[in-house]
């Protein structure tokens, strides 16, 4: 069940990140989901490092860090995807 939950959260984080980033992103949905999963993992690691891993109620701080990490990863990942895709189209 943990993997299914990670995929669902990654999907949501990836879509939210794509909605927040201005302009059009060209990475496919499956790659956006992977970027979202990575954003969740990185956000959790940062939250743990700053000491907000376990709080009462909803962990808003952790969720914000996950979303910020997902935004950065989706943005950079899309740039990399376009660079690789662009080099294949020119060949």
The per-residue pLDDT for 57 is 79
- The pLDDT tens digits of the residues spanning 38-75 come to 999 999 899 989 988 667 777 888 889 999 999 999 99
List CB contacts of 14: < 8 A, sequence separation 6 or more. Answer: 29, 32, 33, 34, 35, 36, 37, 39, 70, 74
Q: What is the pTM of this model?
A: 0.86
The two tokens of residue 76 are 């950079």
């Amino acid at each position: 069940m943990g993997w299914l939950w990670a995929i669902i959260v990654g999907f949501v984080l990836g879509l939210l990140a794509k909605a927040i980033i201005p302009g059009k992103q060209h990475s496919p949905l499956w790659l956006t989901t992977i970027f979202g999963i990575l954003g969740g993992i990185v956000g959790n690691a940062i939250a743990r490092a700053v000491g907000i891993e376990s709080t009462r109620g909803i962990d808003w701080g952790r969720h914000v860090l996950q979303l910020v990490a997902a935004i950065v990863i989706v943005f950079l990942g899309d740039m990399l995807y376009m660079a690789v895709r662009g080099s294949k189209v020119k060949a």
